[in-house]
Amino acid sequence: MGNLGVFFKIFSLIVAMSSLHAMSQLSKQEKTWFQKYYLGKKEVTKLHFYVQDKLSGPNKTVYEVSRSNITSISPTSFGQVRVLDDLLTAGPDRNSTELGRAQGLITFADLKQSALAMNLNFVFTSGKYNGSTLCILGRNPILERDRELPIVGGTGIFRMARGYSISNTYSYDPIEDYGVIEYTVYVTYVKG
């Protein structure tokens, strides 16, 4: 066994000892939760909801916070950064049952295609998932159908969540500058 093999064995031993030390620092409740997670006690859920995106006018929910020096001449609005706090509803109508908020940061991040880099949190404020969140992080080519974005985490019921979402523009009213985005989310999380 060469020096590289010895190095990897020592490195593996150090990592294993570090993991054991970290586990010994956890409370009984934390250990139980991690054991459930690693032993496969997971739930898989499909969620379906709508995001109400009010882009202008009184009570708008999307605001520009920054732009690059080429945003105004870019056909894709490259470099524009917006924050949003949109209503999350059970149905496509803006007056349907409120489920929570879609909050986050979107950046126009493609010079050739209308695509966003998204950091979006679904904050549930009612129903079974009240107090929980799901986090989406990824590229959203906004003119395409069936846009897939990864679920990279969550809180509350959705702690350690992973999965993906499929989004589509359900409707857009150019006069009101109001869009409705349909989301179908497939998520797995620790059953608790």
pLDDT means per 10 residues, the chain with 192 residues, are: 66 56 64 63 92 95 96 94 97 97 96 95 96 96 94 94 96 96 95 72
Q: What pLDDT is attached to residue 78? A: 95
Q: CA-to-CA distance for 131 and 23, rounded, in angstroms?
A: 27
Condensed to tens digits (0 to 9), the pLDDT of residues 145-170 reads: 999 999 999 999 998 899 999 999 99
- CA nearest 192: which of 156, 151, 154, 163? 156
Q: CA-to-CA distance for 77 and 79, rounded, in angstroms?
A: 6
Q: What pLDDT is attached to residue 27? A: 73
Q: What pLDDT is attached to residue 157? A: 93
- CA nearest 37: which of 29, 47, 46? 29
